[in-house]
Amino acid sequence: MSGKRILVVEDGITMRMFYQDVLGRAGFVVEEAANGVEGLEKALLGGFDLMIVDINMPKMDGYELVSRIRREPSLQATPVVTISTEAQDADATRAYEAGANFYIVKPADPVLLVETARLLTGAQA
């Protein structure tokens, strides 16, 4: 068990359960937020090793959330993976410009997702 803490910010309840399931089984502690505003609030409480952020969300979308995270001194060093159904390069570029560290296309392959989370949190396989 890695015990690394991941905050998943995603508006789809099924997707949240998917992350909870896949990452939880790989030994991560997964917290959830249902939109960007909630995500930022929870992130600010601190203690996350990685954030997985959906792009298309109500209230505050993923781009906005990531750029706000990067403006928060306490969150600047936290790795952020953005995840979206859009495979277009333009979307990935926008995410990287906002400050994301990686971009995954949804629905993420569970193996790829767990590997990415391990790499970005420094967890062992």
Partner 1 sequence: MTNPLLARFIPEARELLQVSASGLLKLERNPTDETAINAVFRAVHTIKGSSGLFDALALTRLVHAAEDLLGEVRSDALQIDSALVDMLLDSLDQVGQWIDALERRGALPADADGVAHRMATLLRERLGAQDDGPDRAPADGPQQGADPAPLADVATLPPALLARLSAPACLDAFRRACGGEVVHLVRYAPEPGCFFSGTDPLQAIRQVPGALALDIAAAEPWGPLEAFDPYQCNLHFALLSAAPRPEIEQAMRYELDQVTIAPVRPRDLVRIAGEASDGPIWDDFREAASGFLAAGRHDELRQAVSALRSVAGATLWRRQALDWLDAALSAGEPDPALVAALVAAAGSGRLDPVPAASALTAAPAPAPQPAPQATDPRQDLARTVLASQHRALERTGYDADRLASVGTVVGNVLLSLGRAADRAAIQAAFEAAREAQSVAPVLSALSAVMDGAPLQRPETAPALPDALPQAFEEAAPAAGAKEPEGRIAPKSLKVDQAKIDLLMNLIGELVVSKNALPFLAKRAEETYGSREMSREIKEQYAVIDRLAQEMQGAIMQVRMLPVSEIFDRFPRLVRDLARKLGKRIDLALEGEDTAADKTIIEALGDPLLHIVRNSLDHGIESPDERRAAGKAATARILLKARQEADSVVIEVQDNGRGIDPARIRAAAIAKGVVAQEEADRLSDQEAINLIYRPGFSTAAEISDLSGRGVGMDVVLTTVEKLGGQVSVSSRLGEGTTTRLALPLSMAVTRIMIVEAAGSLYGVPMDMIVETVRVPRERIRMIKTSETFVLRETIIPLLRLSRLLHLPESPRGEADAAVLVCHVNGRRAGLIIDNFREGMDVILKPLEGVLTGIGGYAGTTLLGDGRVLLVLDLRELL
Q: Which of 39, 40, 62, 103 binds partner 1 (CB under 8 A)?
A: 103
Pick 52 or 108: Cβ nearer partner 1 = 108
Pick 23 or 54: Cβ nearer partner 1 = 54
Strand order in the sheet with 80-84: 29-33, 5-9, 50-54, 80-84, 102-105
Beta carbon of residue 105, minimum distance to partner 1 (angstroms, whole number): 5
Question: What is the distance, to the nearest Å, from the Cα of residue 63 to the centroid of all Cα atoms in its chain?
Answer: 12
Which residues, numbered 18-57, are part of the site for partner 1 (CB under 8 A)? Answer: 18, 21, 29, 31-32, 34, 38, 42, 44-47, 54, 56-57
Q: Quick one: tokens of 24?
A: 């939880």
Interface with partner 1, residue 119, by CB under 8 A? yes
Beta carbon of residue 25, minimum distance to partner 1 (angstroms, whole number): 12
Helices (H), the chain: 13-25, 36-45, 62-71, 89-98, 110-121
